[in-house]
Amino acid sequence: MLEFCEWLYELRVSQTVRESTWVFPTLDAIHIYSMAIFVMVMAAVDLRLLGFRIEQQPRQPLSHFTRRVLRWGWVAFGVHALSGTLLFAAGAVDYYVNPAFRIKILLVLLGVAYHWVVLPVVAKREEASPMPIGSKLAGGFGLLLWVGVIAAARWIAYV
């Protein structure tokens, strides 16, 4: 894996990201903006599981809402992952050995799997008021995962 990171680091495109004065901050801005949209979409589902809703009687069943909203989330996630990959390539070896970065990737994978696989199942249950404790826990855990991802990302520079 380390050899792969070294190979990635040496690529022409990684060098460009590293050395250009404008490519790095541009990718960084795309990465942060898509994160904001992506996290907000995921949080919208998590918050609804926690019992927060825009309408008293939501017109769309929770499962329908989840499916529709997550579609936007995956678009933002695609942009986020692509910019993240390029930023990673620019400093591949340093990131690879960084424990905070490893935790971040682990949490991202966990978060994606969770929101993709677990939440649609939870959302299939009809919406009740107040939400059952199981749904609330599921939503709270989802929110916590994304806060964890952001925290791990910020800690990369300090470990």
Q: Which residues make up the interface to other proteins (CB under 8 A)?
A: 21-22, 24-26, 28-29, 32-33, 35-37, 39-41, 43-44, 54-55, 59-60, 72, 146-147, 150-151, 153-155, 157-158
Could you tell me the smallest distance in angstroms from the CB atom of residue 95 to other proteins?
16
Q: Which CB atom, from 33 or from 136, has the smaller least distance to other proteins? A: 33
Angle at 152 between CA 149 and CA 153, to 5 degrees: 85
Could you tell me the smallest distance in angstroms from the CB atom of residue 7 to other proteins?
27
Q: Which CB atom, from 7 or from 20, has the smaller least distance to other proteins? A: 20
**Cis before 58? omega within 30:** no
Could you tell me the smallest distance in angstroms from the CB atom of residue 156 to other proteins?
9
Could you tell me the smallest distance in angstroms from the CB atom of residue 158 to other proteins?
5
User: How is residue 64 written in tokens?
Assistant: 């329908």
Rg for the chain, CA atoms, rounded: 18
Distance set, CA 117 to CA 81, 94, 106, 122 (Å): 19, 32, 16, 9
Distance set, CA 97 to CA 5, 16, 56, 86, 102 (Å): 10, 22, 49, 17, 8
Q: Which CB atom, from 5 or from 86, has the smaller least distance to other proteins? A: 86
Q: Which CB atom, from 6 or from 64, has the smaller least distance to other proteins? A: 64
